[in-house]
Amino acid sequence: MDLENVSIIGAAGKMGSGIAMLISQEVAKLKIDDPDKIYRVNLIDVNERAMDGLHKYIKTQATKLAERNIVSLRSLYASHSDLIENSDIIDAFVNELLGVIRYGTELEVARNSQIVFEAVIEDEPLKLNLLTKLNHLCAKGTLFFTNTSSIPIGFLDNQVGLGGRLIGYHFYNPPVVQKLVELIPSDATTDELKSIALELGKVLGKKLISSNDIAGFIGNGHFIRDGLYAISEAERLKTKYGGAGAIYLMNRITQDFLVRPMGIFQLIDYVGIDVFQCILRVMSKHLQDTTLKSQLIDDMMAKNVKGGQFADGKQKDGFLKYENNKPIATYNIEKNEYLMWEGLPSPEWKTKIDTELGNLPNGHSPWKKLLNNPKKADILSTYFSNLRQASGLGAELAKNYLAESKKIGLKLVKDGVANSEADVNGFFWAYGPINEYI
């Protein structure tokens, strides 16, 4: 695997910046081991203003990385007798990492790269245009990794004429934290590139799950349909609870009753309502499936309510309103305003919904407390057994959601998107959708 000259396109974005940090830290280690060799990591983005923020992010992350790995860095710098204090080693590593980086706003910077990571927004025409320019600019042996989360790799490869030098390498946000990478080779992807992609995953300490090259792949193949189900349920329930109330209700079902890291509408906000819409369009087009659409998503976009994150990582308002990255209100699309969750007195609409949902079944534990609990499987089994026996609005909606989520997961295997049920479940934290809980 040759990391002498690597480029990341879209480096100032939320995904590109994380990929940039991951690659830069590995290249910095190579530079320490072989100081006479020239290494370059080219961080390229059209947003010149965002480059200052990118530099600050990289420096901050590099410092944190060095502090966490001071023992291994001491070994790496063993021949440097002048580096005595931990602070000396930390400074040396940060300077080494920053030293291999070059910033640019023009694609020309990537001309001599052996490997190029594409991490621009999920826009099919943009990616095709970008990869076409890179194909003409770079050497014929250059290998391309695309962070697309939905566009078929074979389609991109064929349209651009890359001859198998493209592979899907879908990082999850934030890349420096999330261990999962979805690996998507096409039928044309060369064995050499597949081998390099696997080796890179090991070097970066990532958990690679292979998906077959079908639009949406495993991750979004499930997430998008899961989201559409939540939206359809919210639409069904809005007559009784109002649009904002129904969104709040389904968000609580998916986070609390289903023991997930965040509710489905919070997750859509996190990904970005605009990105959700783009993925819907890609999947609908390539799968020729007209059911992959949402009027509510289109209406939110028409209101310019898009979710996503600011450059500093703070969550933008979407279906929910956020304060310190925590949801505090639900969007009322009819009145173009947010309904607050808290207040004095407590909001009547929320109190009514919480009362109708009912208490969480016995044995419930928030997902975060379960992650490193050695008894996680037993706790979940007990909780979902109690959920199956429970009645009331919350329990019934949760059981229906579990059944639908499992159905979506099983269909991904049946349709050949995923090679196994384990691969589908590998995308989830506390438990996967294909289970015996329902």
- Tens-place pLDDT, residues 41-68: 999 999 888 888 999 999 999 999 999 9
Do residues 26 and 99 share a domain? yes
Does residue 437 form part of some domain? no
Do residues 130 and 231 share a domain? no
- Band the pLDDT of 438: cuts 50, 70, 90: confident
Paired residues of 326 in beta bridges: 323
Does residue 430 form part of some domain? no
Task: Give yes or no for residue 431 having a pLDDT over 90.
Answer: yes
Does residue 312 form part of some domain? yes
Residue 324, both tokens: 């310190």
Residue 252 to residue 26: CA distance in whole angstroms: 41
Query: Residue 415 is part of which domain span?
Result: 219-425
Geometric angle at alpha carbon 45, from 40 and 51, rounded to 5°: 85
Do residues 307 and 182 share a domain? no
Q: Total structural domains in the chain?
A: 2
The set of residues, in sequence order, having a beta carbon less than 8 Å from that of 46 and lying 6+ positions away, is 105
Do residues 177 and 311 share a domain? no
Does residue 173 form part of some domain? yes
| 190: amino acid identity, one letter | T
Do residues 105 and 28 share a domain? yes
CATH number at residue 380: 1.10.1040.10
Residue pLDDT, tens place only, 337-352: 999 999 877 799 999 9
Tally of CB atoms within 10 A around 359: 12
Q: What is the DSSP string of 258-319?
A: TT-SS-HHHHHHHH-HHHHHHHHHHHHHHHT-TT---HHHHHHHHTT----B-TTSPBPPSS
Number of residues that make up the chain: 438
Asked if 299 contacts 333 with a C-beta cutoff of 8 angstroms, the reply is yes
Paired residues of 171 in beta bridges: 181
- Band the pLDDT of 234: cuts 50, 70, 90: very high
Query: Is residue 352 within a helix (H) or strand (E), and if so which, with residue range?
Result: helix 348-357
Backbone dihedral angles phi then psi of residue 112, each to the nearest 5 degrees: -95, 15
pLDDT at 2: 83
* CA of residue 383 relative to chain centroid, distance: 28
- Band the pLDDT of 293: cuts 50, 70, 90: very high
Listed residues 210, 229, 253: the one ending a domain: 210
Asked if 137 contacts 147 with a C-beta cutoff of 8 angstroms, the reply is no
Listed residues 210, 237, 258: the one ending a domain: 210
Asked if 151 contacts 122 with a C-beta cutoff of 8 angstroms, the reply is yes
DSSP letter at 119? -
β pairing state of 5-9 and 115-118? parallel
Does residue 364 form part of some domain? yes
The set of residues, in sequence order, having a beta carbon less than 8 Å from that of 6 and lying 6+ positions away, is 23, 27, 40, 41, 42, 113, 114, 115, 116, 117
Does residue 431 form part of some domain? no
3-state secondary structure of 341: coil
pLDDT at 358: 96
